[in-house]
A = this chain, B = another copy of it.
Amino acid sequence: MAGNTFGTLFKIMTFGESHGVAIGGVLDGCPAGIPLDLKAIQNDLNRRKPGQSAIVTQRKEPDTVEFFSGVFEGKTTGTPIGFAIRNTNQKSQDYSHIKDSYRPSHADYVYDKKYGFRDYRGGGRSSARETASRVVAGAIAKQFISTIKINAFVSQVGDLKLDKTYKNLDLSLTESNPVRCPDPFMAKEMEELIKKIKKEGDTVGGVITCVVQNVPVGLGEPVFDKLHADLGKAMLSINAVKGFEYGSGFEGVKMTGSQHNDQFNSDGSTKTNHSGGIQGGISNGMDIYFNVAFKPVATIIQPYETIDKEGYMVKTQGKGRHDPCVVPRAVPIVEAMAALVLADFALLNRTVKL
């Protein structure tokens, strides 16, 4: 089983190590008849790819996706869509420093213990490189649920936190800066902070906020497969994520019911939206919004002490070209996972009535 499948009807199985031949996946259950915009897919890949700006890793990988099947005369056929992205930049790397020792707060140690050994090159399967496959599938999902609008953006880097809600932001500005924060002034501050952190060979965490608009009423399958429960799992499955909250979230616990309850308008919409667009696990037509917390990347360009396979302490040094802060590149990943969840629930929702 091994956990590399996501979704019930709109379903992907992904494969690939960071330094193997290729990464990719198969998307099964994508409905037939969707005119596929390949440029839009590549565009989302480009938003995720390394080397796109000065504040992300400087690795050069074109991340060009090749489709093998499931598309004919420009449209999806209802059959599985196989795809792969070749790994092109992995040849010259030197991994001797991680082959026999475990990097702190990486998955090296647990992979060795769980599987008996591991593909140590660049983190192998535990590398965030696998998320490129998610972006491909998510970009197709977006085209299936094309009336739903999904916009993620960076709302916090380290201590720098946007004090505006998404309603008071112009989300069309998200892509106007390398941080992907829709507030240009805050974006500049965040960029400076990331550059400073990078210069120190260190890393810093951040938060991505995602807003999903124009969602039809009815998506979500209680009691276990509540819409927000699957969104939460989707987000928590992304590398480095430590937390998820939607609607009023952790702050909402301080409120009373009389403050928190969202009163109805006569059309079924609500005057406030502490619920975050979801009631009882089912979308209510209001905006869905949620926050995703990312820890600071574990790879730092500093000397550190760790253990080798035999448990001896070894001194080593982080190297390579890594992200000082993961959130700018994670924005399209958050959107992709949200799109996969919504596409799946959109299909499931077709089956609930006689």
Asked if A110 and B279 sit within 8 Å, CB to CB, the answer is yes
- Inter-chain contacts of A265 with B (CB < 8 A): 307
A102-122: which residues lie under 8 A (CB-CB) from chain B? 102, 104-107, 109-111, 113-119
Q: Please tell me if A11 contacts chain B, counting CB pairs below 8 Å.
A: yes
Chain B residue contacts of A43, Cβ below 8 A: none
| Stretch touching chain B among A46-54, A61-69, A166-174, A176-184 | A61-69
Is the Cβ of B353 less than 8 Å from the Cβ of A80? no
Compute how far the CA of A21 lies from the CA of B3 in the bound complex, rounded to whole angstroms: 27
Minimum CB–CB distance from A17 to chain B (whole Å) comes to 5
Of B252, B281, B351, the residue contacting A296 (CB under 8 A) is B252
Cβ–Cβ < 8 Å partners of A68 in chain B: 15-16, 20-24, 84
Report yes or no: A1 in contact with B33, Cβ–Cβ below 8 A.
Answer: no
CB-nearest residue of chain B to A348: B1
Contacts of A266 in B (CB 8 A): 307, 311-313
Residue contact B261 to A116, C-beta cutoff 8 Å: no
Question: Could you tell me if A111 and B26 are in contact, using CB atoms closer than 8 angstroms?
Answer: no
14 more contacts with CB within 8 A, not counting A16-B82, A245-B293, A250-B291, are: A1-B221, A13-B26, A17-B72, A24-B68, A32-B115, A33-B116, A34-B354, A105-B274, A111-B282, A114-B349, A204-B253, A247-B295, A257-B296, A263-B304
| 8 chain-A/chain-B pairs, Cβ below 8 angstroms | A17-B70, A32-B354, A75-B117, A84-B84, A200-B256, A226-B236, A252-B295, A263-B306
